[in-house]
Amino acid sequence: MKKLLALLMALAIILSLAACSGSKNEPTDPAAPSVTDAAVPAKTPENPVIRLATTTSVNDSGLLPYLLPAFEAKTGYKVEVASAGTGVAIGYAKSGDADLLLVHSKKQEEAFIDEGFASTERLSFMYNYFVIVGPADDPAGIKDLATAADCFKAIAEAGTGFASRGDNSGTHNKETSIWESAEIDPTAESWYNSLGKGMGDTLTAANEMKVYALTDKATFLSMKDSLPNLAILKEEADDMKNTYSLLGVKADAEAFAGTNVAINTEGANALIEWMLSDEAAALIADYGKEQYGEQLFFLIEK
C-alpha cells in the first residue's frame, strides 16, 4: 500500500512538472500588451493647473477641445480655458488670472508686451481667414468684390444690415480696421448693430436678422447647421487673414508687485512648447478635414 501511494505521488509530481514546462513553452499573443508597451500615465506636475485665456474662435470652433487632451495626457497638466474676446482675455492676464494667452489681435498683443506683462515675445504660429457671411441672396452684391473693404462699402451703400460683435475682440478690431480702410464710420447708422457679444451669439443674431457679419471661418462652419439664413459670401481676401499668437504672462510684472498673483510659468512654458511642436502642428493641420471636408487652421512656416 505504501509503495502504491509513493508511486501515485511520484506520478503526480511528474505530471505537474510537465504542465509547468508546457506553459512556459506556449507561444505568446503578439497583440497582447506587454508591460513595456503599456501606456504609462504622465507624472502630475507640482503645479498641475494651467490657466489659458483665449479668444472664442479657437474654442468655439472646437480646435482647443481637440488639441488639449493630447497635451494633458502627455504632460499630466490640466488646462483651464477662459474663452472671451481678445480684449477681455488680455484683461484676465493683466489681472493675474491667466498664465498665458492665445489671441489674435496684433495691436493689443504688442500693447500687452509694451506694458511689461509678457514673459515671451509675440509667438505667431497659425492663421485662418475671416469671412463675411450674410443672406444667401446677397442683397448688397458683395460676392464678387475684390476685398473686404469693397464689401463693407457695398453693405453701407445698400444699408441692408450688419451685425458687429462690438466687444473689443480680435474679430471686432479686425472689423473696425476694415471699416477704416473703407473710410466709413458705421456706428451711428441704423442698419449697424453693435451687440457686445461673442462670435456665436453674434452669428445667431445675424441669422435671425438676416444681415451680414464678419466671423472667423472655423466658428461659422462649426455652427453652420443652426444658421440656415447665412452663407459665406466672401473669403480669403488679402485683407482678411487672421493670425494667432501665444504670449506667456510675466510672473514678476511690475503691476503684480505687492499682490498675491501667482503665475504658473513652468506650466505656461510647457504648453507653449507643445503648441509649437511638430506633434501639435500635425494635429492642427488635420483639424476640420474629417468633419468639414477642409483644413480650418494653417501653420505659419518657421
For residue 184, is it within any domain?
A: yes
To the question of pTM greater than 0.75 for the whole model, the response is: yes
Residues 120 and 169 in one domain: no
Residues 134 and 176 in one domain: yes
What pLDDT, on a 0 to 100 scale, did the predictor assign at position 250?
98
Among 99, 139, 54, 86, residue whose Cα is nearest residue 261: 99
pLDDT bracket for residue 56 (50, 70, 90) = confident
Residues 214 and 274 in one domain: no
Residues 166 and 225 in one domain: yes
What pLDDT, on a 0 to 100 scale, did the predictor assign at position 41?
55
Q: Which helix (H) or strand (E) holds 225?
A: none
For residue 8, is it within any domain?
A: no
pLDDT tens sequence across 183-203 = 999 999 999 999 999 899 999
Interval 80-90 mean pLDDT? 93
* CATH code of the domain containing 219: 3.40.190.10
Q: How many domains does the chain have?
A: 2
pLDDT tens sequence across 264-276 = 999 999 999 999 9
Check if the beta carbon of residue 66 is closer than 8 Å to that of residue 283. yes
Residues 117 and 53 in one domain: yes
pLDDT tens sequence across 1-30 = 444 444 444 444 444 444 444 433 333 333
Residues 53 and 113 in one domain: yes
Domain containing 256 equals 49-127+243-299
For residue 104, is it within any domain?
A: yes
Residues 175 and 107 in one domain: no
Residues 81 and 172 in one domain: no
Distances in Å between the Cα of 57 and the Cα atoms of 63, 73, 220, 259 are: 9, 24, 9, 32
For residue 135, is it within any domain?
A: yes
The cell for 133 is: 457671411
Residues 134 and 227 in one domain: yes
pLDDT bracket for residue 61 (50, 70, 90) = confident
Residues 182 and 257 in one domain: no
What pLDDT, on a 0 to 100 scale, did the predictor assign at position 140?
98
Distance CA 246, CA 242 (A): 14
What pLDDT, on a 0 to 100 scale, did the predictor assign at position 292?
87
pLDDT tens sequence across 88-121 = 999 999 999 999 999 999 999 999 999 999 999 9
What pLDDT, on a 0 to 100 scale, did the predictor assign at position 40?
54
pLDDT tens sequence across 142-159 = 999 999 999 999 999 999
